[in-house]
A and B are shown apart, each in its own frame.
Chain A
């Protein structure tokens, strides 16, 4: 079975600090996509960053970057210079390439404190 595990239910950091959210997954697939989605109180799921498993280079989007360790099946999200607007639920998700099933973790609630 394919699963996504987020071991941190909730985290809090001060504004401008750096925070890392953990995610591990389990799959027998070799090619897949990994995603981090952000869900603010408005409930709209917004894609933060994605990583193709066949790419060794870690994806980066402005203040957001990932540490992708394929052998360890680990996909953590680092948020640098955190801002109040980063407060939200963050979901790690997985999709095998060629399939469009999206498997989500249970989420990490992130609070950015002023």
Chain B
């Protein structure tokens, strides 16, 4: 089966510019996550969707970050305006919804490495 697809793989922007990342989850996975992974650290959850609804966005810096998941499939994550500290790898992951028998694993994309200069 196809995995989680993300694009672009790399992006370099200047501070105060805007950027958008795209994610296509595994078919049938209702849950979609966006993680931020700063160099040398573990992934930090930014936002979690269940179908097209937001389950958890408590750690999303809402003054500059936004995300949407129209039609409950693909998702985009946007940063506007970007800051130097936003330099990180942005990982998208998907899984079956909770309470399903298959809810034991999240599948990750290869991530987008963002460099803000």
New A-B contacts (16) at CB < 8 Å, excluding given A33-B104, A46-B108: A42-B110, A43-B110, A44-B108, A44-B111, A47-B105, A50-B105, A100-B31, A100-B48, A100-B95, A100-B103, A101-B45, A101-B56, A104-B42, A104-B44, A107-B40, A107-B41
- What is the minimal beta-carbon distance from B46 to any residue of chain A, in angstroms? 12
Q: Which residues of A contact B103 (CB under 8 A)?
A: 97, 100
Residues of B near A43 (CB, < 8 A) are: 89, 91, 110-111, 113
Give chain A residues whose Cβ lies under 8 Å from the Cβ of B95.
100
Instruction: From the candidates B55, B105, B110, name the one contacting A35 in the complex (CB within 8 A).
Output: B105
Q: A46 CA to B110 CA in the complex, in Å?
A: 10
Are A102 and B45 touching (Cβ within 8 A)? yes
Interface residues of B in 23-80 (CB under 8 A from A): 31, 33, 40-45, 48, 55-56
Q: Which of A33, A35, A106 contacts B42 (CB 8 A)?
A: A106
**Inter-chain contacts of A50 with B (CB < 8 A):** 104-105
- Does any Cβ of B come within 8 Å of A61's Cβ? no
Among B55, B56, B104, chain A packs the most CB atoms within 10 A around the CB of B104
Number of interface residues of B (CB under 8 A): 27
Q: Is B12 an interface residue (CB 8 A)?
A: no
Contacts of A106 in B (CB 8 A): 40-42
| In the assembled complex, A29 has its CB within 8 A of some CB on chain B | no
17 A-B residue pairs with Cβ-Cβ distance under 8 Å, sorted by A, are A4-B42, A43-B113, A44-B108, A45-B43, A45-B108, A52-B104, A99-B98, A100-B55, A100-B95, A100-B103, A101-B45, A102-B93, A104-B42, A104-B43, A104-B44, A106-B41, A106-B42
Q: How far is the CA of A98 from the CA of B99 in the complex (A)?
A: 5
C-alpha spacing A59/B41, complex, angstroms: 26
For B42, give the chain A residue with the smallest CB separation: A104
CB distance from B37 to the nearest CB of A (A): 8
Is B20 in the interface zone, CB < 8 Å from A?
no
